[in-house]
Amino acid sequence: MTRPRRHGDAGQAFPIYITVVGGLLFLALAYFAVGQATVNRSGAQTAADAAALAAAQERRDQLAGQWVKDVLDPAKWQRIFDGSGQALSSPCWRASELASRNYARLLRCQPNGPLSYTVDVETSKSMGKSVVPITERKHSKAHAEAVITGRCEFKPLPVNPGSDALPRLTCKGGKYWDIDPKDLTDLPKPQDLFDVHLAD
C-alpha cells in the first residue's frame, strides 16, 4: 500500500503564507502613514496655538504700554482695558515668528474683535513618504484663536477740582495698586493687567 504524498499541500500553503505576510506588512505601513499624518497635524496645531498666543501677547504688551503712558488720565483707562484705545501696530509679526519656530508658515492672522486674534498656519514639512503617495506632498493646516481679557477693575473718582488723585486699581489674585501720581515707579506689569489664553 502506497502512502499519499504531501508535497502538493505544502506547495499550496506557501502562496497563502506570502499573501498573509504581504497583507500584514501593508497594514503596518498604512498604520505608520497614519501615525506620520497624526504627528504632522499635531505639529500644525502646536504651531497655530503658539502663533495665536504670540499675537495676543504682543497686543497685551502694547495695551499695557498704552496704559502706562496714559496712567495719569483715568478717563482713558477703560477704553484701554476694552482694547479700543489708540490705534496700535499689528502684532502679527510675532505670530509669524512663532509659527516659523514651530516649522510652519503663517497663512492668516487677523483680529477677531479688539481683544482676540485668529491665525491659520501650514506645516513647512510634508507628511512624508508612505504607502499613500499623496502624503509626500501634503502639508497639515491648523487654526487657533487667542483671547485677551482684562484682570483689573477701578471705580472712577468723583470730580474734585485741584485733586490729582488716581483711582485704586484692583486686580485678580487680590492685588491692588494705589498709584501715586508723583511716584510712578511701582506700576503693574502687562501680565498683572491682562490675561491671554486660547479660546475654547
pLDDT digits (tens, 9 = 90+) for 136-162: 567 789 999 999 999 999 998 776 655
Q: Give the pLDDT confidence score for residue 159 in this predicted structure.
A: 64
Q: Which residue has the higher pLDDT, 92 or 131?
A: 92
Output the CA–CA distances (angstroms, integers) from residue 129 to 53, 70, 102, 141, 188, in the order listed: 32, 56, 21, 18, 52
Q: What is the mean pLDDT of residues 70-96?
A: 90
Given a cut of 80, whether residue 67 has pLDDT beyond it is yes
Given a cut of 50, whether residue 131 has pLDDT beyond it is no
Distance CA 55, CA 69 (A): 21
Q: Which residue has the higher pLDDT, 178 or 13?
A: 178
With both helix axes pointing from N to C terminus, report the angle between 7-69 and 92-101 in degrees, rounded to the nearest 10.
150
Q: Give the pLDDT confidence score for residue 8 in this predicted structure.
A: 53
pTM: 0.76
Distance CA 147, CA 138 (A): 30
SS3 content of the chain, % helix, strand, coil (to 5): 45, 20, 30
Average pLDDT, the chain: 82
